[in-house]
């Protein structure tokens, strides 16, 4: 078994392990499982309370007491990390003794009858030095920690054979929990991050421990790994596990927080902890771990950067192991109350409902046993609340939860604290003030000649010391021979502390802080004529413990200078430096008994304030068994030891913002002390103090400056600077987390400064009180990715968002809150966005509501400006902004507000069967340039990446699943060229003018009809100009400042120096790309040699038309669809029956009666006697679409469209003699997302009639109708793996075709390569699709209108969505390597054998550039470079890892056409192709200059010539 320890350790940075141990014996790993409610131990569901106690942060002598107090406090589990760098300080040297005795710690847990949760790391963070990794790992060649890096993974695998008989005793008691610690760093590793996580997960699961693994803060944890929550409010923030068959677990409930030097302690109340624990349990939580339950002490040098020696002292058990009351006692009572109800909590049926505006009830009921538990919640933080629950009145304290054990009697209230507060009393028993009892040794200050390591530059601190010491000496010697009256030493360092000595004299220090590690120290010094020695002592205060690329962190000195004057200085940054690692006293280990005589000690006498001094004395231990504290309030900074044991770093001179030290009292465990007999031995130095500063020294407190965002009439002001900002809308739930980093980076590369997104309320709270922030809704992760990219963020919190998102982002359940009217002065509802269009429809209530919304927002005091887009009467406290295709003429209501454009639409959304709008890049660029020309300062593209309406999230109704928006980044995440490239060049051109535009008043100059220039100048002579031609038909030539400029129609030229045109909006110099969807047939996911389509195994399940299972209700008349389904499904069955007599003429003649249906929307399929009706009348299309008709269709189906939701269906049907069953499947295709009173817009059938009876038309509308909500397949969960076994599937190699109401399931391999993937559904009818349980969305290959389309869109003139008209995205991250389950629900019939995947790939590049196009390099633009004459150039570049393999077209002259369809004109250089081939062939990128050397310019003299190449 000796493999055990290294098997745990190789489970990466990932893993944790639960040892399940009982008092009677041991429960092995295979006895620990789980279901969707809880962990299951020995076949029994368990509700568990856990507490973190880290064994090396206390001593073995304390462990028994700590664990006993935890057990007494109601805990079931003790949790700890495994600290790799404690157990293997050097490669192959292991330590499992003393505080590192993990086995002893586990056995103590076992002895007290508790379970153990072992988080094996090896990366742990935990405010522990280097995150638990041994520093020697840093020197493994080529290693990159926590990434898909072969040296890192190979090294972990190599450590599999460490043998330890002690560890063998606990083998088999392992229930492993996997934890990639704080995997927020994952995105920084790009593709290496997710692949590493998957590798680690697979490796962990492959250990086959027979017990569950978990990943905390990992929302995409793969099955069977359980994702869990860390934080203080997981009852509110955790969206739950990513699968319904996993329990809800809280792995870190922070009872306070760690403290740093210079920081104040964080105190979290017992009431707050109890409230959130009770809330988590009420919301189906079953496992809670307190981090920390006992924090302990960072002995020695184990604390991470700037973290104090005391750790989580405010935990229920304080640093010394004492009860912290009332926290410990209050939680004990809470645990007892919850456990008394655990059977019902774990096995009862949960429900929840509102008890008031801020009150709610969560109830668990066991009807068979007659048991009930209730949690009554009052979220009002200020006032008591009286609620009615089960015919009884209950008084709830502010911000509290009452637990009712029988749904009647309150047994606990989180805000009612019965435990009395205790106070920690510190008594002084020994004062070390007798100087004659102290001895000292002053450490040696090295000079350059004494050093063995020398370099001609400043070396990085950690890479030199290898963490064997906090200290590194940087020394040099130089000759001073210039006049320097007042020399100043300047030292720039990246941390953490620097002490400066000149010629062995101490001159001062500087330091950083936890938030700002970089600092500059400036100290006046004196210099000798001739030789001078500089000795700088760099000091680390702990290694970093978290973040990406830990192995690349930098510390130590970066710049050293002696400044004599502004013109004269000594720069020593690149100079001959000598280095010494550590102090002499450290090297000789004089803090140990056996080395005490290796140096010469002297009496302290009357001098004690000396730097670099070791002190020692002998003392008797305090009497009794109380905890012992060393008060170091008179010291400066250093380290202390007692009997060879380091009690840790101290830094008393670093003061908080309140002028006090962060820590003065330092824990000395009783076990460190010897008895009196030993202490009387004068040669034993029980106490050593290392002081680096005199105790009176004043420390420099460096704090991080907070971002300050304000504004004036010209722009937003960030940290005191006016900013011109380009923003891009990217909606996080419309892509997947794996796409976010690349999307943000592509936007940044496109010249974007800001990412903008809505917050989607109905995605985060799908039902009242049930919150979700996982997967695509992980808003925090998205924000952090933006932050890591160094960009700003605009968060449009709505909660109403419109955005073509279903119900405008408002949860559907809000509509059913009694009395609610959206978007008006209505007490149940108060939220807003884009209100100006609709305010008038709500009368006076609308105006009052807009003012209330603004006041409410501003009152939050968040420190950044608030905006209201399209709000024409916004109050002065907010900024009103513009949404439109053009906003150059927009002006804010108030003169002190900046001009902001919140939505510039670079394309438009699509509807099923509607137009495919296209907005040219030239027109977008024109609108943006005009906006900034006329004083704009913040501009946002809506959308910059549109993405996908996965699942049923689209609004409209009738909005397509693709939300591509023809945006600069397409639905699949690829740059849309030339749009993306043209706008990138525009952004750069505008930014060249930023400073002068924002800090000068423009002058408007008329240059003729529809021609104008706006000129920006300042007193220094700087100048920038925007020249615009607003004529939408004619090109113009203008004179400006004695120079001639050609302006195409509807264009703007940008001149950053008022001379040179660096950009014209109508001249697209950026390359275009040919993007294709390359089809791939579905491939069988087995080891078969032949994976052709016919080998696919299709599983088929056919729905019953009409009522399946029990009917939901019967009602006379037709009901509203949306009010009935409440959007829990798209589908609602309307069913009835009709009797047909034998004498009806249509039976005798064989003719067909006609079914007439009228509906408010959105679509319907008509079934008679279980058959979808077929149109037998050729040429009569039964599918009517609002104002027009679809092409002739076979099936009796009908739908509205994106502009007209209601529709009528007229179709022949087949009736038989006797009873006929009519089943009408009504469907919604998204919900209304905007408009006045939009929540009241209904859907569903309003009239059903049948023509052709002997007695005329029969109206069925008032008949008794039987209703069924949703499909059976939905109810059975056929979209997810866990539901597959709920029905009987029929297998077939050839799936049935044109069969309605059919579920298809097939297991396939992913498409080849890494290209984005689409699903081609053109041969299907209408329905829904899933891959591996993820919702791809609705499909409906409905043809758009043929009339009104144009081959090429003219960019000139104002754009609207109808001016220019021209598959289904499956994210790669949803695919597994094999065994992918594709599920299709087809409503009306199609051919699944023709379903294909397709890879979206750039297969070609092309460009068309004219001689008169600006070709200045915007990246290297230098104002004043002179000439406006530039060489036009075609730039072509391929995607990564590809090259230009052939040139299909090249023509220099007057070619025409678009990318992929260029044609030669009547002027053509026949050498064009050979020139382009010579420059570009087999290259990844190339530049072709339009020069006489390259091309024949002798013809077509009357026009600028062009080069087109593809």
Which of the residues are catalytic? 834, 903
Three-state DSSP string of 1053-1096 = EEECCCCCCCEECCCCCCCEEEEEEEEEECCECCCCCCCCHHHC
- At 831, give phi and psi (nearest 5°): -150, 165
Distance CA 194, CA 202 (A): 12
Q: Tell which residue, 583, 603, 611, has the closest CA to residue 696.
A: 611
Indicate the pairing of strand 1334-1339 with strand 602-603: unpaired
User: What are the DSSP calls for 655-694, one per residue?
Assistant: B-TTSSBS--EEEE-GGGS--HHHHT-TT---EEEEESS-
Q: Tell which residue, 143, 159, 139, 161, has the closest CA to residue 151.
A: 143
CB contact set of 92 (below 8 Å; sequence gap of 6+): none
Q: Is the peptide bond before 224 cis (omega within 30 degrees of 0)?
A: yes
- At 906, give phi and psi (nearest 5°): -80, -5
Distance CA 1125, CA 1269 (A): 6
Distance CA 771, CA 234 (A): 10
E strands, 1082-1185, in order: 1098-1102, 1113-1116, 1131-1140, 1154-1159, 1163-1168, 1171-1172, 1184-1185
For 563, the enclosing helix (H) or strand (E) is: strand 557-563
Query: Contact, 1323 vs 1376, CB < 8 A?
Result: no
Let me know if 1114 is exposed, middle or buried by CB neighbors in 10 A (0-12, 13-18, 19+).
exposed
Query: Contact, 731 vs 795, CB < 8 A?
Result: no
- Tell me which residue has tokens 């639409």: 905
For 491, the enclosing helix (H) or strand (E) is: strand 488-493
Give whole-number Cα distances, 419 to 270, 330, 334, 1269, in Å.
10, 6, 12, 52
Distance CA 501, CA 510 (A): 12
**For the range 342-349, what are the long-range contacts, defined as Cβ-Cβ under 8 Å and sequence gap of 24 or more?**
342/47, 343/371, 344/369, 344/371, 344/372, 344/373, 345/47, 345/281, 345/286, 345/373, 346/37, 346/38, 346/45, 346/46, 346/47, 346/286, 347/37, 347/45, 348/372, 348/373
**504-529 as b/e, with b when 16 or more CB fall inside 10 Å?**
eebbbbbbbbbeebebebebebebee
Cα torsion through 1272, 1276, 1279, 1284, rounded to 10: -120
Distance CA 853, CA 833 (A): 10
Let me know if 1283 is exposed, middle or buried by CB neighbors in 10 A (0-12, 13-18, 19+).
middle
Helix then strand then coil, % of the chain, to nearest 5: 20, 30, 50
Q: Is the peptide bond before 617 cis (omega within 30 degrees of 0)?
A: no
Distance CA 596, CA 688 (A): 10
Distance CA 537, CA 305 (A): 17
Indicate the pairing of strand 645-651 with strand 1063-1064: unpaired
Q: Is the peptide bond before 1190 cis (omega within 30 degrees of 0)?
A: no
For 474, the enclosing helix (H) or strand (E) is: strand 471-480
């Amino acid at each position: 078994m000796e493999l055990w320890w290294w098997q745990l350790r190789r489970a990466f940075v990932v893993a944790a392990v639960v040892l399940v141990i009982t008092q009677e014996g041991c429960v092995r790993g295979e006895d620990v499982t789980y279901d969707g409610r809880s962990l299951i131990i020995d076949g029994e569901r368990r509700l568990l309370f856990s507490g973190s106690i880290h064994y090396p942060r206390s001593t073995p002598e304390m462990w028994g007491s700590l664990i006993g107090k935890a057990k007494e406090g109601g805990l079931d589990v003790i949790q700890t990390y495994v600290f790799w760098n404690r157990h293997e300080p050097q490669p192959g040297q292991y330590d499992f003794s003393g505080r590192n005795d993990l086995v002893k710690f586990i056995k103590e847990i076992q002895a007290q009858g508790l379970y153990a949760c072992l988080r094996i790391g090896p990366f742990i963070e935990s405010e522990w030095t280097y995150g638990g990794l041994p520093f020697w790992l840093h020197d493994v060649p080529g290693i990159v920690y926590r990434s898909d890096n072969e040296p890192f993974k190979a090294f972990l695998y190599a450590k599999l054979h460490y043998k330890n008989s002690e560890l063998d005793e606990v083998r088999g008691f392992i229930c492993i929990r996997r934890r990639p610690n704080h995997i927020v760093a994952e995105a920084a590793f790009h593709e290496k991050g997710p692949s590493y996580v998957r590798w680690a997960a697979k490796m962990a699961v492959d250990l086959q421990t027979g017990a569950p693994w978990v990943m905390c803060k990992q929302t995409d944890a793969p099955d069977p790994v359980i994702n869990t929550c860390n934080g203080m409010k997981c009852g509110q923030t955790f969206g739950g596990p990513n699968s319904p068959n996993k329990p809800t677990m809280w792995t870190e409930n922070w009872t306070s927080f760690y403290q740093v030097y210079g920081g104040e302690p964080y105190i979290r109340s017992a009431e707050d902890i109890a409230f959130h624990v009770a809330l988590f349990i009420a919301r189906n939580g079953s496992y809670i771990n307190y981090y920390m339950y006992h924090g302990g002490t960072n002995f020695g040098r184990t604390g991470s950067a700037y973290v104090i020696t005391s750790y989580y002292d405010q935990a229920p058990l304080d640093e010394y192991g004492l009860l912290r009351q009332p926290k410990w006692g209050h939680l004990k009572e809470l645990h007892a109350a919850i456990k008394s109800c655990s059977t019902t909590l774990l096995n009862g049926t949960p429900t929840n409902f509102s008890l008031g505006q801020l009150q709610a009830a969560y109830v668990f009921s066991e009807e068979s046993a007659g048991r009930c538990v209730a949690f009554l919640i009052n979220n009002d933080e200020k006032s008591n609340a009286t609620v009615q629950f089960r015919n009884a009145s209950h008084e709830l304290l502010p911000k509290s939860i009452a637990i009712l054990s029988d749904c009647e009697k309150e047994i606990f209230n989180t805000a009612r604290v019965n435990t009395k507060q205790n106070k920690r009393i510190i008594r002084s028993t020994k004062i070390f003030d007798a100087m004659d009892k102290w001895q000292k040794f002053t450490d040696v200050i090295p000079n350059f000649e004494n050093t063995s390591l020398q370099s001609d530059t400043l070396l990085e601190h950690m890479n030199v010391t290898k963490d064997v010491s906090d200290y590194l000496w940087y020394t040099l010697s130089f000759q001073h021979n210039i006049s320097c009256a007042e020399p100043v030493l300047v030292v720039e360092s990246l941390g953490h502390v620097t002490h400066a000595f000149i010629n062995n004299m101490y001159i001062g220090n500087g330091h950083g802080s936890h938030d700002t590690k970089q600092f500059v120290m400036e100290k006046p010094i004196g210099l000798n004529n001739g030789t001078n020695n500089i000795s700088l002592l760099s000091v680390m205060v702990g290694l970093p413990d978290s973040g990406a690329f830990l192995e690349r962190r930098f510390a130590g000195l970066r710049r050293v200078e002696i400044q004599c004057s502004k013109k004269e200085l000594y720069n020593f940054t690149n100079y001959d430096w000598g280095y010494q690692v550590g102090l002499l006293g450290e090297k000789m280990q004089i803090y140990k008994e056996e080395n005490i005589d290796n140096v010469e000690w002297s009496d302290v006498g009357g001098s004690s304030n000396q730097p670099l001094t070791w002190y020692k004395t002998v003392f008797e231990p305090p009497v009794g068994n109380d905890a012992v504290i060393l008060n170091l309030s008179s010291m400066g900074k250093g380290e202390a030891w007692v009997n060879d044991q380091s009690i840790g770093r101290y830094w008393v001179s670093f003061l908080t913002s309140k002028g006090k030290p962060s820590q003065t009292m330092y824990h000395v465990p009783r076990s460190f002390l010897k008895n009196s007999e030993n202490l009387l031995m004068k040669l034993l130095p029980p106490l050593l103090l290392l002081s680096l500063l005199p105790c009176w020294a004043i420390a420099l407190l460096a704090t991080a400056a907070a971002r300050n965002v304000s504004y004036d009439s010209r722009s937003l002001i960030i940290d005191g600077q006016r900013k011109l900002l380009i923003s891009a809308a990217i909606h996080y739930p419309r892509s997947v987390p794996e796409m976010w980093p690349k999307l943000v980076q592509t936007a940044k590369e496109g010249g974007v400064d800001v990412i903008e997104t809505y917050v989607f309320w109905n995605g985060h709270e799908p039902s009242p009180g049930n919150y979700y922030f996982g997967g695509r809704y992980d808003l925090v992760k998205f924000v952090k990715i933006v932050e890591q990219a160094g960009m700003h963020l605009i968060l449009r919190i709505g909660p109403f968002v419109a955005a073509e998102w279903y119900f405008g982002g408002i949860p559907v359940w809000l509509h059913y809150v009694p009395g609610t009217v959206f978007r008006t002065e209505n007490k149940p509802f108060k939220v807003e966005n884009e209100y100006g269009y609709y305010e008038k429809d709500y009368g006076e209530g609308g105006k009052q509501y807009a003012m209330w919304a603004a006041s409410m927002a501003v009152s939050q005091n968040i420190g950044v400006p608030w905006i209201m887009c399209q709000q024409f009467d916004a109050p002065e406290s907010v900024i009103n902004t513009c949404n439109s295709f053009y906003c150059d003429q927009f002006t804010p209501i108030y003169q002190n507000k900046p001009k902001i454009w919140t939505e510039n639409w670079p394309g438009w959304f699509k509807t099923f069967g509607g137009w495919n709008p296209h907005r040219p890049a030239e027109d977008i660029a024109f609108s943006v340039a005009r906006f900034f020309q006329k004083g704009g300062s913040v501009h946002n593209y809506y959308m910059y990446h549109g993405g996908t309406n996965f699942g049923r999230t689209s609004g409209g109704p009738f909005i397509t699943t693709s939300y591509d928006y023809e945006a600069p980044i397409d639905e699949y995440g690829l740059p849309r060229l030339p749009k993306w490239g043209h706008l990138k060049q525009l952004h750069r051109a505008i930014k060249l003018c930023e400073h002068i535009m924002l800090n000068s008043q423009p002058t408007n100059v008329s240059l003729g009809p529809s021609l104008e220039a706006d000129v920006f100048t300042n007193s220094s002579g700087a100048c920038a100009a925007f020249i615009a031609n607003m004529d939408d038909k004619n090109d113009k030539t203008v004179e400006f400042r004695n120079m001639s400029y050609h302006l195409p129609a509807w264009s703007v030229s940008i001149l950053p120096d008022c001379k040179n045109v660096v950009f014209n909006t109508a001249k697209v110099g950026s390359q275009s790309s040919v993007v294709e969807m390359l089809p791939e047939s579905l491939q069988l996911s087995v080891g078969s040699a032949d994976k052709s389509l016919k080998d696919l195994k299709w599983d088929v399940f056919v729905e019953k038309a009409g009522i399946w299972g029990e009917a939901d209700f019967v009602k006379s008349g037709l009901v509203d669809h949306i009010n009935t389904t409440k959007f829990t499904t798209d589908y609602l069955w309307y069913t009835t029956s009709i009797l047909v007599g034998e004498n009806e003429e249509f039976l005798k003649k064989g003719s067909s009666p006609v079914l007439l249906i009228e509906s408010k929307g959105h679509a319907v399929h008509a079934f008679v006697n279980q058959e979808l009706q077929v149109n037998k009348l050729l040429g009569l299309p039964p599918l009517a679409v609002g104002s027009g008709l679809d092409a002739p269709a076979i099936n009796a189906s009908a739908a509205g469209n994106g502009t007209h939701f209601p529709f009528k269906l007229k179709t022949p049907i087949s009736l038989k003699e006797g009873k006929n069953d009519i089943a009408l499947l009504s469907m919604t295709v998204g919900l209304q997302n905007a408009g006045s009173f939009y929540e009241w817009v209904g859907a569903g059938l309003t009239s059903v009639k049948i023509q052709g009876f002997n007695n005329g038309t029969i109206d069925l509308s008032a008949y008794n109708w039987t209703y069924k909500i949703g499909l059976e397949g939905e109810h059975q969960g056929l979209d997810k793996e866990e539901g597959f076994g709920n029905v009987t599937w029929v297998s077939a190699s050839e799936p049935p075709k044109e069969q309605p109401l059919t579920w298809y399931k097939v297991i396939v391999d992913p498409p080849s390569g890494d290209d984005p993937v689409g699903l081609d559904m053109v041969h299907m009818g209408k329905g829904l699709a899933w891959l591996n349980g993820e919702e791809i969305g609705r499909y409906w290959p409905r043809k758009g209108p043929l009339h009104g389309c144009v081959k090429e869109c003219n960019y000139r003139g104002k754009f609207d969505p109808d001016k220019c008209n021209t598959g289904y995205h499956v994210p790669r991250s949803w695919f597994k390597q094999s065994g992918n389950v594709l599920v299709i629900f087809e409503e009306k019939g199609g051919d699944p054998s023709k379903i294909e995947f397709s890879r979206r790939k750039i297969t070609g590049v092309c460009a068309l550039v004219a001689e008169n196009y600006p070709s200045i390099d915007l990246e290297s633009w230098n104002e004043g470079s002179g000439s406006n004459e530039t060489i036009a150039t075609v730039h072509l570049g391929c995607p990564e890892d590809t090259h230009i393999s052939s040139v299909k077209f090249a023509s220099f002259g007057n070619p025409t056409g678009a990318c992929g369809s260029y044609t030669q004109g009547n002027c053509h250089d026949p050498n064009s192709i050979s020139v382009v081939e010579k420059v570009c062939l087999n290259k990844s990128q190339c530049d072709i200059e339009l020069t006489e050397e390259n091309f024949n310019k002798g013809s077509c003299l009357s026009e600028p010539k062009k080069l087109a190449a593809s």
